[in-house]
Amino acid sequence: MATQHSRAAARLMISPAVILLLLWMIVPLAMTVYFSFLNYNLLMPGAHNFIGFENYKYFVTNPAFITALINTLVLVGGVLLITTVGGTLLALLLDQPVWGQGIVRILVIAPFFVMPTVSALVWKNMFMNPVNGLFGWIATSFGFAPFDFLSQAPLFSIILIVSWQWLPFATLILLTALQSLDSEQVEAAEMDGAGPFARFFHITVPHLSRAATVVILIQTIFLLSVFAEILVTTNGGPGNASTNLTYLVYAQSLLQFDVGGGSAGGIIAVILANIVAIFLMRMIGKNLDA
Amino acid sequence: MGQITLSKVVKRFGDVEVIPPLDLEINEGEFVVFVGPSGCGKSTLLRLIAGLEDVTDGHISIDGQDATELPPAKRRLAMVFQSYALYPHMSVRKNIAFPLKMAKMDQAEIDKRVDGAAKVLNLGDYLDRRPGQLSGGQRQRVAIGRAIVREPAAFLFDEPLSNLDAALRVGMRLEISELHARLQTTMIYVTHDQVEAMTMADKIVVLQAGRVEQVGSPLELYRAPRNLFVAGFIGSPRMNFITGAEAEAHGATTIGIRPEHISIVPEGGTWTGKVVVSEHLGSDTFLHVDIEGREEPMTVRGDGEVPVRHGDTVQLSPDETKIHRFDAKGLRIE
Ligand SMILES: Nc1ncnc2c1ncn2[C@@H]1O[C@H](COP(=O)(O)OP(=O)(O)OP(=O)(O)O)[C@@H](O)[C@H]1O
Ligand SMILES: [Mg+2]
């Protein structure tokens, strides 16, 4: 797109898509912002008076808010940690030439195709349930008391479930990155006297950093809004122990029919997501520069 | 330091024998060039010496010590790869310092050696750049820098110049030769370019299908090629081969005569033919002459000013003392 003319033509050509996307995004956002300033409760029909920042104040001063905020960050951070580290290790494993590699790879990717509600239910009932679950059975057969994951460590359990779902994604992307590592580079490092660990940290990890950045950015977007897994397993409880922001908004607007409060929560969640995004780009965004 | 001996080295990939039993002696301080057509096993042989491939059978010893089972890092050899294999996320300085850092050398010594290498290779201005910001020739120099800082027993080069353009290749060729003259360290250099082999080597090893066809100094190979393959491979343009009655007259199955040993005579020449192509290089002229009863045109080298054009008829006469004779098996007859 060198000339002025072709640049103008290009802008014209992409404008329908850009405008459509903009509307797609702007309209719901504007509506949400609008609702968040109203006193709008479905249980009190008729009265939609403008109340300024009252909804925001109410949402932020709610004692559950801080807990939900911390839970959201812990959830995102925990899952990111497990999936990038686990994904790197799995990718290293899958990169080794073994018999039946193709099938193993498909198996590893499989969890990604299971929908969140289903996988959360499977984990809840078949693994973590203290009476019927596999973990409980293992514990009892060794003579220990079964551990009730979802009530003793609700947030950790949810982190486990979500990590299980996202591990394949991380593994897949890191595996392709690993396969693009120039073998001569590894051999050069070998000749330079770098042992397996030095090679991993000096050659492989920097090579994977770009892919890992992509993994982290994409996962963060989705992890900030984890919902189904919480709804199906703990319902945000016990108390608020596993409530994240998304779930809090849901509890606010749908369980209490408070559209205005829920909208305010939604806007706060959007703002927080942007803050997280800015931090992330500051920290790891430079990895994406060529 | 830097004497390498291969005895009965064999390499098989699955059922394919890439290197049949091979013996080779590389002396201290020598510049040895492995040359041969593509796929003949030059890189494989180099990687066996480096330890990047395991030998299937046989022994490799370095400085009198059995190195067959030693890992690459312990062999005290440095390798320059065809793709340079620089570490893209490290600056030039860090790239060159990497082997020293791995050897846990102290920082002051590392800095001293890196600066020394940078000076030798004219890399001073680029030390803080990344490999991606360098030209091909500069990258090549960084790769060489990374090899020399370790002060290895021998250098291994795998077609280091094949990614460079012609002018740069000649320049780097000289630089590597100078480096060898200065360091006096053994160098093993792989190429399929016989000009590189001739100009740089103390000793050329001609390989074909993993077999050593001949080992010798460039001039030995040029003057007395042991068989048809070497005769055809060394020398540019290629030697002309003649079979049939003319060869039998010399008591051989095939005779060979190099283009530079044929002269154009006004009359009374051995062969008469028509010029199909004449390549004027300024310093030389290469004529391709079609001769009755011969399938390939005969190549002849004349001086730069030969007044011959396409389509002219010329008479050719070989220098009888420079004719190479080969028997039915393709071996040289003295
Ligand atoms: N890992 C491998 N597995 C199987 N065969 C191999 C392997 N590496 C090399 N070969 C075979 O060994 C032979 C020699 O290969 P090598 O790379 O040594 O050739 P080369 O002389 O370096 O050729 P070039 O000049 O094209 O680089 C080739 O026929 C190649 O197909
Ligand atoms: Mg090769």
Strands in B313-318's sheet, in edge-to-edge order, are B262-265, B313-318, B271-280, B284-291, B298-303
Cα of B18 from ligand 2 centre, angstroms: 13
Q: Which residue among B73, B83, B132 places its CB closest to the CB of A190?
A: B73
State yes or no: pLDDT of A168 exceeds 80.
yes
Which residues have CB under 8 Å from B150's CB, separation 6+?
Answer: A192, B76, B78, B99, B100, B103
pLDDT at residue A80 in the model: 95
Instruction: Looking at the complex, report in whole angstroms how far the Cα of residue A191 sits from the nearest Cα belonging to chain B.
Output: 5
Vertex A256: Cα angle to A254 and A261 (nearest 5) = 80
Beta bridge partners of B187: B31, B155
**Which residues of A fall within a CB distance of 8 Å from B140?**
none
State yes or no: pLDDT of A46 exceeds 80.
no
CA distance readout (Å), A13 to A7, A20, A130, B59: 10, 13, 59, 68
Phi-psi region of B243 (alpha: psi -120 to 50; beta: other; left: phi over 0): beta
State yes or no: pLDDT of A79 exceeds 90.
yes
**Which residues of B fall within a CB distance of 8 Å from A195?**
73
Q: Alpha-carbon Rg of chain A, whole angstroms?
A: 24
First-residue to last-residue Cα distance in chain B: 37
Domain boundaries, chain A: 1-31, 37-289
Contact A245, A272 (CB under 8 A): yes
Q: Report the CATH superfamily, name and number, of domain A37-289.
A: MetI-like (1.10.3720.10)
> Which domains, and CATH codes, for chain B?
4-231 (3.40.50.300), 240-333 (2.40.50.140)
More confident residue, A239 or A207: A207
CA distance readout (Å), A5 to A8, A10, A16: 5, 9, 19
Ligand closest to the CA atom of residue B157 = 2
Q: What mean pLDDT do residues A138-165 have?
A: 86
**From A47-56, A208-217, A244-253, B85-94, the region with the lowest mean pLDDT:** A47-56
Average pLDDT, chain A: 87
- Tokens 């066809």 map to which residue? B213
% of chain A with per-residue pLDDT over 90: 27
State yes or no: pLDDT of A41 exceeds 70.
yes
Whole-angstrom distance, CA of residue B172 vs CA of residue A231: 68
Do the Cβ atoms of B85 and A203 come within 8 Å? no
Do the Cβ atoms of B146 and A192 come within 8 Å? yes
Positions of chain B with pLDDT under 50: none
A/B interface, count of CB pairs below 8 Å: 59
pLDDT at residue A290 in the model: 57
**Which residue ranges have their beta carbon within 6 Å of ligand 1?**
B 13, 16, 18, 36, 38-44, 192
Ligand closest to the CA atom of residue B39 = 1
HEC per residue, A187-201: HHHHHCCCCHHHHHH
pLDDT at residue A1 in the model: 53
pLDDT at residue B318 in the model: 92
pLDDT at residue B289 in the model: 93
Cα of A10 from ligand 2 centre, angstroms: 46
pLDDT at residue B275 in the model: 92
**What's the half-sphere exposure (Cβ side, CA atoms, 13 Å) at B140?**
20
Testing the interface with B: which of A184, A186, A191 to mutate, by most B Cβ within 10 A?
A191
Q: Which residue type sits at B185?
A: T
- Does A210 reach chain B within 8 Å, measured CB to CB? no
Contact A72, A225 (CB under 8 A): no
- List all residues of chain A from 173 to 202 with a beta carbon under 8 Å from chain B: 182, 184-185, 187-195, 198, 202
Contact A165, A122 (CB under 8 A): no
Check if the interface score ipTM surpasses 0.90.
Answer: no
Q: What is the pLDDT of residues A127-144, one digit of tens each?
A: 888 778 888 888 888 888
